[in-house]
Each structure stands twice: as structure tokens, then as C-alpha cells.
Amino acid sequence: MLTTYFISGLGADERAFAKLELPDTINQVFLNWVMPQDDDDLVSYSKRLAEKIDDRAPFALVGLSMGGMVAVEIARIKKPEKLIIISSVPTFHSFPKRIKTAGFLHLYQVVPVSWMKSASVIKRIFMPETPQVKKLIEDMIRDSNGQFIKWALGAVANWKNEVIPPNLVHIHGESDEIFPIKYCNPTYRIPQGTHLMVLTHSSEISAIIKKVFGNVMEK
């Protein structure tokens, strides 16, 4: 079995992957977020998170949103058999202008985290998701750590990676509202998939993951 480390998105945890149907050939391990140190950026933070990975045997990485960026950074340190990012970007060149502006002007420092968390919950009310999915999202947002969110917003906005790792598989929604697909060049496109498609289009994403891991296990 191939040990596969899953990294969730900002404001989320392992529950974000709950609806995926994963192949029996992988051993699923969740890399939970840890609190950053005072001087951490996304690169140094990813190095510390990478210490939890046992690379004495082959392994793979699956990262969601911000977790995809962390997975990209980890893949530069350790060498996964396969790297899958979902609703994420491999380099900062795929950021929309608003994220680049936020990093340049440090806008993330002036917006209260409590407001951002409340706005995220309110936004979910108007999104076309099932009541079950909305409840799961709301629970994850409310359970998230405000201090971590504020650091993470700045770390993402100031991320400057330009290197695309080998073995990258990028799954992206055509209606992603955070990272618009017009700035991306994904391996797989999910029609009508939003930033939260890991919950709303889990069957399509599961099929792609099974295909990717099927190819890995055949090698």
C-alpha cells in the first residue's frame, strides 16, 4: 500500500475529504495543521510540517487549496511518487490580482478574523450546496483557529513559488471563485466545480484519484 498524506485547506480539517471514495491501495494519513512560529512563512512552515512524513518508503501527497501549496513546498524537499492538488495552484503566477494586491498591501493584517469567519459562514448560505455540505463547512469554519487563519492568509498572499514539481496532478473546478481557472493550467477540469468541489463533486474527483493511483501502483 502507498502511504498518502492529505493536507486540508485553510479553515478546514480532515472532514474536507470525508466524501471522497479512495482506492484500497493507499494508506490515508492526515497531516493536521500546527501553529506557526513567529517568523514562519509558507516555505518554512511547510518544512516543519514535512518532518511528520516518513519518506523511508514511497509516499504520495494530496493537498486541498492552501494545503496544495504546502504540498508543493513539501514536494520540493521530499520526493513523493505522486503529488495531487485540488482547488489549488502550483505557483503564485496563478493567483488572481486581488490576492497579489492583498500580499503587496498587507490587507490581511487589517481585516478582523472574526469578520472573515462570519462572512465565510454567511456566504455558504447562498452557495448551491446541500444542507449536509453547508453544515459541514460551517462547522469546520467555526472550529478553525482565528490566529492560524490570520497568519495563513498572509503566508499565502506572500507566497512566491515559481517551480512546478514533477509528478504534479492538478484538479481544478471551472467555476472556482478563489482561484479562477483562467489563471490556471490544470491536468483535470471539473465542469461547474467551485472551490469546494471536493465536497460537491466528490465522485468526479474520486474517479480521477483512483485513476492516478492506479497508474502509480502499476509502475
- Fold adopted by 2-95+160-218: Rossmann fold (3.40.50)
Three cell numbers at 94? 496563478
Backbone angles phi, psi at 132, to 5 degrees: -65, -45
Per-residue confidence (pLDDT) for residue 197, from 0 to 100: 92
Three cell numbers at 7? 493536507
pLDDT category at 114 given cuts 50, 70, 90 is low
List, for residues 20-47, the tens digit of each pLDDT value: 999 998 999 999 999 999 899 999 999 9
81 contacts 60 by C-beta, under 8 angstroms: yes
pTM of structure: 0.85
pLDDT category at 115 given cuts 50, 70, 90 is very low
82-86/26-30 β-pairing: unpaired
Q: Which of 117, 14, 109, 124 is nearest to 63 (CA)?
A: 14
Q: Which of 14, 34, 8, 6 is nearest to 151 (CA)?
A: 34
How many other β-carbons are positioned within 10 Å of the β-carbon of residue 68?
A: 27
CA 85, distance to chain mean position in Å, is: 6
List, for residues 143-184, the tens digit of each pLDDT value: 667 778 888 888 998 899 999 998 999 999 999 988 999 999
Q: Is 32 helix (H, G, I), strand (E, B) or coil?
A: coil
Q: Is 80 helix (H, G, I), strand (E, B) or coil?
A: coil
83 contacts 168 by C-beta, under 8 angstroms: yes
Per-residue confidence (pLDDT) for residue 73, from 0 to 100: 97
Domain ranges, ordered by start, for the chain = 2-95+160-218
Backbone angles phi, psi at 8, to 5 degrees: -80, 180
The 8-class DSSP code of residue 16 comes to G
